[in-house]
Structure 1
């Protein structure tokens, strides 16, 4: 396929997404199945363009004065790809499978339109209904934070210290030119390519043998702030696929016991293969069994309960740019209720002097500082551990600078930390 034909395909996929609220990856896959002449490189190029257009959807539409899929792609070619008007016009010739030529109005807007005077949610490319919440969280920096969330994310890996040091992992993956992450002592970072394609990680021997695991640096830091100790009893209350469970197994050096639970047993399905590949031997998976209380024996026994809470995922928009446009107010209300339930459930398992670590990949106060403030007000036997103390306990005192200015806990964002967006709060009993 020619680059112009790839642009036409991206417009077609965006039109389909405008009609149906669904993950972009599903729409792209379906397009590929119905257009089998498109090779793997074509599909990758089309996917990259679709996601770039979704990253810049609001600003691109504003610049072009239209919210049509065509206008969004044209605007994104300027905003996300940095193409000039003539380079864009060369892709819109109307010849063969190319889109129709640019109109006079489109050419004029490409040449003259700017984001000057646009509202923060336009400049930051996030939904208008979240504008007040972003302003509450970030003040005058809301648009800048949004722009950082609209950039491509690197590929972050965590060295599995049960099998290899970070230095060894870097040597094993030298052909991918990884760099040490600046904040996590276990992280490796592979920069995104110009076309946004990442490495075929599952084909790498270092991955197959369990030396590394994909994990954003922010997620690595969240696990490190748990400060899990060898011999400790740990409950991962929302283990899902096991990303943080694996990190905790490394921290405890396979000593003690980690209980991986999720109230939806289907989410636990990937954890078994990942545990085997990582060589994690101190993890016991507790799947739900009807009405049975499968965690009853853990009551009052755990030194650490991790709540990797379900959330809106606003901090992960670099990796899932379509999610921000599918997010609806009703989803936020549902997540808030789930978070409250988990926070109220966790104390049952915490022993005296033990701690709850609450983590979200959200940037909204509602899901973070506000939830913790409510929890602490209703559970007088718990108190928030100050950021400086929690960072020092984790052996990462430099993380204290990410202490939240809105209340207890830490805030990590792409703009301030170079990670996905995360909130982490450590609360201690007694």
Structure 2
């Protein structure tokens, strides 16, 4: 496919997303199935155009004075890809498979349009109703933080210390130009450009041997801050597919005991194969049956309860740019109730003197500091561990200079730490 034909295809996919209000991944998959002539390079390039457009949907629409699929794609090419009006005009020739020629209004917007007077939610490309929450966290840095959340994310890997070292794996992945991450001692980062096909890590020998896992550096750091020791009894209460379970197991050197569970047994399905591939032996998966509480026998016994709480995912907008346009006030309220419930359950499971690691991939204070404050109001026997103390215990004192310290925890962000937007709070049950 020609570059111009790829633009036309991207407009078609964007129109499908807007009309059917569904995830971009579903629309892209359906487009690929109905256009089998498109090669893998074409599909990757079209996906890159679609996701970049969704990242810049609000600002591109403002620039063009038009928020329809064609308008926001053209605006993205100017804002994100840095193409001039003349370069865009050459792509929009109206020839076979190419988009229709630019109108005079479109050409004028591409030549002279500006974001100078755009409100923060437009220049930062996020839903307007989230402005009060994000302003509460970021203050004067809102525009810069929001812009970083709209950028493309790298591919981060965690080296499995049970099987290898970062130095050895980096040498194995030299063909992918994998570089060490700034903060996690086990992290490697692969950067790929716009429209480039992401490397097939799942088929790489290092992955198949269990030496690496795909995991954002922020998620790796959150697991480290949790501070699981080799003799600890740990409950991963929202284990899902097991990303942080695997990180904890490696940090514990396959000693102690981890109980991995989740309220939704379907989310646990991938964990078994991942544990086997990683060589993990200290994890017991507790799969609930129906409404059964799979860890009821562990009440008051855990040294550490990890709560990787269900949340809006606002901290992962770099990786899921379409999700930010689907989040609604009602879904936030649902998440807040779920977070309160899972924190209350964690409080019942942790022993006196034990700790809760509360983690979200959210940037919203309502899901973070407010949730922790709510637990403390309901359960006064819990206190917050100072973020500096938690970082020092994890050997991450240098990270303290980059993160944003909040009332009860710490917030990572793409601007400050180059990671997804993870929040971590350590909560201790007084003995």
- TM-score band (shorter)? over 0.9
Q: Decide whether aligned partners of structure 1 residues 403 and 34 sit closer, same or farther in structure 2, where only a CA change above 3 A counts.
A: closer
SS at match of 1:383: strand
CA distance in 2, matches of 1:172, 1:253: 23
Say if 2:124 is the partner of 1:113: no
Task: Answer yes or no: is the 8 Å Cα contact 1:53–1:73 preserved in 2.
Answer: yes
Aligned to 1:297: 297
Conserved? CA contact 1:254–1:282, under 8 Å: yes
Deviation of 1:291 after TM superposition, in Å, equals 3.9
**CA displacement at 1:402 relative to structure 2:** 5.0
Q: Which residue of 2 aligns with 1:138?
A: 138
Superposition deviation, residue 34 in structure 1: 1.0
* CA distance, structure 2, for counterparts of residue 121 and residue 80 of structure 1: 17
Q: Distance in 2 between matches of 1:397 and 1:306?
A: 21
Name the counterpart of 1:244.
244
Residue in 1 that maps onto 2:390: 390
Q: Map residues 45-64 of structure 1 onto 2, 5 A cutoff.
A: 45-64=45-64
> Secondary structure of 2:276's match?
helix
* 1:273-329 CA distance string (max 9 Å, x none): 100000011000000112433212211111000000000000000000010011111
Instruction: Determine the structure 1 residue equivalent to 2:162.
Output: 162
Distance 2:325 2:41 in 1: 27
Q: 1:124 to 1:291 in 2, by over 3 A?
A: closer
Distance in 2 between the 1:242 and 1:20 partners? Answer: 32
- 1:34-77 residue CA offsets vs partner (Å, 9 max, x unmatched): 11121111111111100010010000000000111000000001
How far apart, in 2, do the equivalents of 1:403 and 1:339 lie?
23
Q: Distance in 1 between matches of 2:171 and 2:403?
A: 34
Aligned position for 1:80: 80
Counterpart of 1:401? 401
How far, CA to CA, are the matches of 1:292 and 1:44 in structure 2? 43
SS in 2 for 1:238: coil
1:397 offset after TM fit, Å?
A: 1.3
Measure, in 1, the Cα distance between the counterparts of 2:344 and 2:196: 41
The answer for the alignment partner of 2:26 in structure 1 is 26
- For residues 405 and 155 of structure 1, what CA distance do their matches in structure 2 show? 26
Equivalent runs, 1:319-330 vs 2, <5 Å: 319-330=319-330
Residue 251 (structure 1) shift: 0.6
1:67 and 1:13 map into 2 onto residues whose CA distance is 15
Greater mean deviation of Cα atoms: 128-137 or 397-406: 397-406
Q: What is the DSSP-based 3-state SS (H/G/I as helix, E as strand, rest coil) of the residue aligned with 2:226?
A: coil
Aligned runs of 1:210-249 on 2, under 5 Å? 210-249=210-249
| Deviation, structure 1 residue 169 | 1.1
Q: In structure 2, what is the equivalent of residue 254 of structure 1?
A: 254
User: Is 1:177 matched with 2:177?
Assistant: yes
> Aligned residues, how many?
430
> What SS is found at the alignment partner of 1:306?
strand
How far the C-alpha of 1:368 sits from its partner, in A, is 0.3
> 2: CA distance between counterparts of 1:218 and 1:327?
22
CA shift in 2, pair 1:405/1:181, >3 Å:
closer
Q: Alignment partner of 2:285: what SS?
A: strand
> Does structure 2 conserve the Cα–Cα contact (< 8 Å) formed by 1:388 and 1:399?
no
Q: Which residue of 1 aligns with 2:98?
A: 98
Give unpaired runs (5+ residues) of structure 1: none
TM-score (norm 1): 0.98
Please give the alpha-carbon distance, in whole angstroms, between the structure 2 residues aligned to 1:75 and 1:15: 15
Paired residues of 1:152 and 1:196 also in contact (CA < 8 A)? no
1:6 aligns with 2:6: yes
> Corresponding residue for 2:378?
378
Match for residue 265 of structure 1?
A: 265
Q: Deviations over 1:322-345 (max 9, x none)?
A: 100111111111111100100111
Name the structure 2 match of 1:17. Answer: 17
Question: 3-state DSSP class of the match of 2:147?
Answer: helix
Local SS of the residue matching 1:225: helix
Matches within 5 A, 1:328-339: 328-339=328-339
CA contact (8 A) 2:305 2:346 kept: yes
Residues 226 and 42 of structure 1, relative CA distance in 2, 3 Å threshold: same
| TM-score, structure 2 normalization | 0.98
Structure 1 residue 347 displacement after superposition: 1.1
**Helix, strand or coil: the match of 1:147?**
helix
Q: Distance in 2 between matches of 1:64 and 1:296?
A: 57
Distance across 2 between alignment mates of 1:396 and 1:149:
23
